[in-house]
Amino acid sequence: MFGQELFLLFLWDTKIMKKHAQDENLRVEGTRYSGIVIVDDEILLMFRRKDGRQYYTLPGGHKRRGELDNETVRREIFEETGIRVEVGQIVLDFKNDFTNQQDKIFLCSAKKKTRPRLLGEEKDYSCQNNYYKPMWVRVEEASNLINMYPEEARNWLMSRNDTR
């Protein structure tokens, strides 16, 4: 029985790898597109545990060839959280020295706050050492998280709180 289970796991893993390899062929490197989604004074964040580090980040990812910026942000947020958003203006555009890529962050809106659920490749690859969990966090709490990245997004949230 163990051999059959291992074989089925291999088939599932091969299917997932092929699916994501097709996405990789369309991927445009160099810029990460993400969105700030705030509903009822809570922001949509992705909690990550990777390589022994725990941190929060905005949902987002890379553009596929032929996509517009707003299409990328909409798709990535849906794939990572299951939440549909409207993409508004760009609020941050900077060179991220940590990742050595450009970051473009857009202000987004959702019609209602629904429970986020992990979809897409993050769901397929999430495990104990590479963990993803989308969640809503109070804006005030998020702006004080020392482990929220990129720092520029946290600073944007803090400046937003200062003007309220």
CATH of the domain at 123: 3.90.79.10
- Report the alpha-carbon distance of residue 12 to residue 110 in Å, rounded: 34
Looking at the domain assignment, is residue 18 inside a domain? no
Structural domain count of the chain: 1
Looking at the domain assignment, is residue 153 inside a domain? yes
- Report the alpha-carbon distance of residue 55 to residue 149 in Å, rounded: 7
- pLDDT above 80: residue 12: no
Q: 5: which 2 tokens?
A: 């289970």
**Which pLDDT band, with edges at 50, 70 and 90, does 1 fall under?**
very low
Query: What confidence tens digit (pLDDT) does each residue in 38-77 have?
Result: 999 999 999 999 989 999 999 999 999 999 999 999 999 9
**What is the per-residue pLDDT for 26?**
78
- pLDDT above 90: residue 19: no
pTM over 0.75: yes
Domain region containing 157:
24-162
**What is the per-residue pLDDT for 62?**
92
Looking at the domain assignment, is residue 9 inside a domain? no
Looking at the domain assignment, is residue 1 inside a domain? no
Asked whether 75 and 67 are in contact (CB, 8 A), the reply is yes
- Report the alpha-carbon distance of residue 26 to residue 163 in Å, rounded: 41
Looking at the domain assignment, is residue 31 inside a domain? yes
